[in-house]
């Protein structure tokens, strides 16, 4: 006989879990009692949002499901942002939450929340366990569901009494659900139609998304490109799925995408999307997106197909077997004129910034991170200007190197995700590139990195602003900077702050040191490379605060609602 708590821990071990993130509480005391003897590593976080993001970062970096355990009520609600982040980006994750005892459910009990109700819309699936006998099966199902098809987070809510009850139940699988049968192989006739379209196209482009990375299909994509010589643009979450250093790499498309990528999409006669879901930040104005192109869409999620962009050639399935089946059917075609056209955009209008200014620019720091790590590091980010600059100025050469919240756009993701990534990949260098606004959302998790001697490097690009919002206020709201200034001076009148303190709060160097990490502050260009090298060779976490030019904007920019050809290159 085992208790429900023991069944849970055993099922996690059976699922191959190596690392669990979490924070205890009243309704998970039984789970934590068994966790004390668990055969896997447990990482105590400081806030449940951190636990969810760590599990997410672990999953993105390793390709294996992340796992976290949180208590009922506030424990679960704190994890919601992390679940929603993983859900939008299709990240495999299992979250176990405690729940008040079954007889108390619905009673407004202490630390009670309707966790399955709250998380229904932000998980791929969730369970409220009502019978202890179901635990082994449900957890096996949770791991199967979170990894298969379009991956996503699964939450299992286990009431306290169910954790305490005893059962003889075991589960030996397979974990199958009659309503859930993801399709992996693409339909042969659709693959044939796609091959025919590729062979006939004069001006084709590939749009590679996160699906390439999730499906471990980067080698297949490279083989396809080598054979067909089709240029590739890589979405934000697809970065690393195709090497940025390849001559046919057009880099990122969309709102802050490259001229080459956006022009190629706008002029192509065939767009082959592989595991990209046509996010509105990629398409711009939908009616003007790739207006001359036949659109082919490979996606494991049938609901992604024709959701925003009508697919002429839909292929439902996993990118890997589909690309494998496609490769022998495509032929090398001479498209010199198109490739010359594309190469001209690439060389004449690459991502750029003022490299001659003596001032320290965020873009410069990011480019230095890329050069010092040579594409070998895992780079995690928060959300905002620094995230876009990272996509523009870091060169990613292999999958699972870029860890960032794309769909939900979750600030405060980068540091905990970097910790999760480092725990999953002990042999890789991990750098979190963050802003001074976003880092303050989950700074507390730095202690976790210190406690576990994780040599992550946190690069804070401090421009004293919530920079991306500042940029939008400058461009679209008459430069009326409303609640975006983070430094003490220069606030709007209604913030009622006398401009008496020019200094910045908090002091990130002291904050890093207070957490037990090494802190550095850089203000000069020439300091950057050396500081990065020192930090990367440290055995302890290092926080490098870079005081960067405050009012830089991310360019190019496609204004919201505009087409991809309407790129702004600077404000006049």
Partner 1 sequence: MSKHEDGIHRHIITALVENQPGVLARVIGLISGRGYNIESLNVGPTQDPTISRLTMQVPGDDRVLEQVTKQLVKLIDVVKVTDLTQEAFLNRECILVKVAASRENRSEIIELAGVFGGTIVSVQAEALVIQIVGEQDHVGDFMELMKPFRILDVSRSGVIAMAKE
Residue 304 CB, shortest distance to partner 1, in Å, is 9
Does residue 174 have a cis peptide bond before it, meaning omega lies within 30 degrees of 0?
yes
Residue 321 CB, shortest distance to partner 1, in Å, is 21
Given the complex with partner 1, which of 302 and 455 has the nearer CB atom? Answer: 302
Interaction pattern, residues 132-171, with partner 1; x per rule: CB under 8 A? -------------x--------------------------
Euclidean distance between CA atoms 329 and 272, whole angstroms: 15
Region from 100-108, 174-182, 361-369, 464-472 binding partner 1, contact rule CB under 8 A: 174-182
- Residue 303 lies near partner 1 (rule: CB under 8 A): yes
Whether 249 contacts 234, CB under 8 Å:
yes
Given the complex with partner 1, which of 44 and 121 has the nearer CB atom? Answer: 121
Whether 353 contacts 517, CB under 8 Å:
no
Region from 284-292, 300-308, 335-343, 406-414 binding partner 1, contact rule CB under 8 A: 300-308
Residue 141 CB, shortest distance to partner 1, in Å, is 9
Does residue 162 have a cis peptide bond before it, meaning omega lies within 30 degrees of 0?
no
Given the complex with partner 1, which of 101 and 327 has the nearer CB atom? Answer: 101
Compute and round to an integer the Cα radius of gyration of the chain. Answer: 24
Vertex 472, ends 471 and 478: CA angle to 5°? 100
Given the complex with partner 1, which of 83 and 222 has the nearer CB atom? Answer: 83
Residue 120 CB, shortest distance to partner 1, in Å, is 5
Nearest Cα to 269, choosing from 297, 296, 292? 292
Region from 21-29, 105-113, 172-180, 362-370 binding partner 1, contact rule CB under 8 A: 172-180
- Kindly tell me which residue out of 178, 348, 426, 496 binds partner 1, with binding defined by CB under 8 A: 178
Whether 531 contacts 344, CB under 8 Å:
no
Q: Which residues pair with 93 in a beta bridge?
A: 66, 153
Region from 69-77, 163-171, 226-234, 303-311 binding partner 1, contact rule CB under 8 A: 303-311
One of 21, 32, 48, 392 is an active-site residue; which one?
48
Instruction: State the maximum Cα–Cα separation within the chain, in Å, rounded to a whole number.
Output: 74
Euclidean distance between CA atoms 299 and 153, whole angstroms: 19
Q: E strand or H helix at 497, and its extent?
A: none
Give yes or no: 42 in active site. Answer: no
- Residue 494 lies near partner 1 (rule: CB under 8 A): no
Region from 61-69, 298-306, 405-413, 541-549 binding partner 1, contact rule CB under 8 A: 298-306
Given the complex with partner 1, which of 172 and 303 has the nearer CB atom? Answer: 303
Given the complex with partner 1, which of 166 and 177 has the nearer CB atom? Answer: 177
Q: Which of residues 305-334 bind partner 1 (CB under 8 A)?
A: 305-307
Whether 311 contacts 207, CB under 8 Å:
no
Given the complex with partner 1, which of 6 and 126 has the nearer CB atom? Answer: 126
Nearest Cα to 520, choosing from 151, 145, 529, 510? 510
- Kindly tell me which residue out of 103, 166, 177, 183 binds partner 1, with binding defined by CB under 8 A: 177
Whether 407 contacts 89, CB under 8 Å:
yes
Q: Distance of CA 111 to CAs 27, 32, 121, 129, Å?
A: 9, 17, 21, 18
Nearest Cα to 518, choosing from 544, 494, 479, 480? 544
Give yes or no: 110 in active site. Answer: yes
Residue 310 CB, shortest distance to partner 1, in Å, is 8
Interaction pattern, residues 8-27, with partner 1; x per rule: CB under 8 A? --------------------
Given the complex with partner 1, which of 302 and 409 has the nearer CB atom? Answer: 302
One of 111, 190, 229, 440 is an active-site residue; which one?
111
Token pair for 119: 């998380």
Residue 174 CB, shortest distance to partner 1, in Å, is 15
Given the complex with partner 1, which of 15 and 379 has the nearer CB atom? Answer: 15
Give yes or no: 160 in active site. Answer: yes
Interaction pattern, residues 68-87, with partner 1; x per rule: CB under 8 A? --------------------
Residue 518 CB, shortest distance to partner 1, in Å, is 45
Give yes or no: 349 in active site. Answer: no
Q: Which residues pair with 94 in a beta bridge?
A: 67, 154
One of 88, 411, 468, 567 is an active-site residue; which one?
468
The one-character DSSP state at 304 is G
Which bin fits 272, alpha (ψ -120 to 50), beta or left (φ > 0)? beta
Q: Is 271 helix (H, G, I), strand (E, B) or coil?
A: strand
Q: Which of residues 106-135 bind partner 1 (CB under 8 A)?
A: 116-117, 120-121, 124-125, 128
Given the complex with partner 1, which of 131 and 523 has the nearer CB atom? Answer: 131
Q: Distance of CA 49 to CAs 124, 411, 452, Å?
A: 18, 11, 19
Residues 6 or more apart whose CB falls under 8 angstroms from that of 563 comprise: 266, 284, 285, 288, 289
Token pair for 149: 């098809």
Euclidean distance between CA atoms 213 and 224, whole angstroms: 15
One of 32, 124, 147, 160 is an active-site residue; which one?
160
Residue 177 CB, shortest distance to partner 1, in Å, is 6
Euclidean distance between CA atoms 12 and 336, whole angstroms: 54
Residue 90 CB, shortest distance to partner 1, in Å, is 12
| Number of chain positions touching partner 1 (CB under 8 A) | 18
Residue 434 CB, shortest distance to partner 1, in Å, is 31
Whether 240 contacts 246, CB under 8 Å:
no
Pairing of the two strands 457-462 and 542-547: parallel
Region from 275-283, 297-305, 384-392, 457-465 binding partner 1, contact rule CB under 8 A: 297-305
Euclidean distance between CA atoms 230 and 225, whole angstroms: 5
Q: Is 434 helix (H, G, I), strand (E, B) or coil?
A: strand
Given the complex with partner 1, which of 64 and 307 has the nearer CB atom? Answer: 307
Give yes or no: 48 in active site. Answer: yes
- Residue 302 lies near partner 1 (rule: CB under 8 A): yes
**Which residues are catalytic, by number?**
48, 110-111, 160, 468
Contacts with partner 1, residue ranges (CB under 8 A): 116-117, 120-121, 124-125, 128, 145, 177-180, 301-303, 305-307
């Amino acid at each position: 006989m085992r208790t429900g708590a023991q069944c849970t821990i055993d099922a996690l071990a059976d699922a191959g879990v190596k690392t669990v993130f979490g924070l205890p509480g009243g309704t998970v005391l039984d789970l934590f009692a068994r966790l004390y003897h668990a055969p896997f590593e447990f990482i105590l976080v400081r806030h449940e949002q951190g636990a969810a993001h760590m599990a997410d970062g672990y999953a993105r970096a390793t390709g294996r499901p992340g796992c976290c355990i949180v208590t009922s009520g506030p424990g679960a609600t704190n994890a919601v942002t992390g679940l929603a982040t993983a859900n939008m980006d299709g990240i495999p994750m299992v979250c176990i939450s405690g729940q008040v005892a079954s007889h108390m459910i619905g009673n407004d009990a202490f630390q009670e929340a309707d966790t399955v109700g709250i998380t229904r819309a932000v998980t791929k699936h969730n369970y409220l366990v009502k019978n202890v006998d179901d635990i082994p099966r449900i957890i096996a199902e949770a791991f199967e569901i979170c990894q298969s098809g379009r991956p996503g987070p699964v939450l299992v809510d286990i009431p306290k009494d169910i954790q305490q009850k005893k059962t003889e139940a075991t589960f030996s699988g397979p974990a199958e659900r009659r309503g859930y049968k993801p399709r992996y192989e693409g339909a042969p006739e659709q693959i044939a139609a796609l091959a025919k379209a590729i062979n006939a196209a004069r001006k084709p482009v590939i749009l590679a998304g996160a699906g390439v990375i999730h499906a471990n299909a980067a080698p297949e994509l490279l083989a396809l490109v080598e054979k067909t010589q089709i240029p590739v643009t890589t979405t934000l979450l697809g970065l690393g799925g195709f090497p940025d250093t390849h001559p046919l790499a057009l880099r990122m498309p969309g709102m802050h995408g490259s001229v080459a990528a956006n022009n190629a999409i706008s002029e192509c006669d065939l767009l082959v999307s592989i595991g990209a879901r046509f996010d509105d930040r990629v398409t711009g104005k939908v009616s003007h997106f790739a207006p001359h192109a036949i659109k082919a869409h490979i996606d494991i999620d049938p609901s992604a197909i024709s959701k925003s962009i009508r697919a002429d050639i839909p292929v439902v399935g996993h990118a890997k077997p589909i690309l494998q089946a496609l490769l022998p059917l495509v032929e090398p075609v001479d498209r010199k004129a198109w490739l010359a056209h594309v190469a001209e955009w690439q060389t004449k209008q690459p991502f750029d910034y003022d490299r001659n200014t003596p001032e320290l620019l965020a873009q410069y720091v990011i480019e230095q991170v890329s050069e010092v790590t040579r594409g070998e590091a895992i780079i995690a980010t928060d959300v905002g200007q620094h995230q876009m600059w990272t996509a523009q100025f870091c060169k990613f050469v292999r999958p699972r190197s870029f860890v960032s919240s794309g769909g939900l756009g979750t600030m405060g993701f980068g540091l905990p995700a970097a910790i999760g990534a480092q725990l999953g990949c002990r042999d890789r260098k991990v750098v979190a590139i963050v802003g001074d606004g976003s880092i303050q959302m989950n700074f507390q998790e730095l202690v976790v990195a210190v406690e576990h001697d994780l040599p992550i490097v946190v690069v804070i690009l401090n421009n004293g602003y919530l920079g991306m919002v500042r940029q939008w206020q400058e461009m679209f709201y008459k430069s009326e900077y409303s609640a975006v200034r983070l430094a003490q001076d220069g606030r709007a009148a209604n913030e009622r702050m006398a401009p008496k303190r020019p200094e910045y709060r908090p002091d990130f160097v002291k904050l890093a040191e207070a957490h037990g990490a090494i802190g550095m502050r850089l203000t000069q260009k020439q300091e950057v490379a050396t500081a990065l090298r020192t930090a990367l060779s440290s055995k302890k976490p290092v926080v490098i605060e870079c005081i960067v030019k405050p009012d830089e904007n991310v360019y190019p920019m496609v204004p919201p609602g505009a087409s991809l050809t309407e790129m702004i290159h600077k404000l006049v």
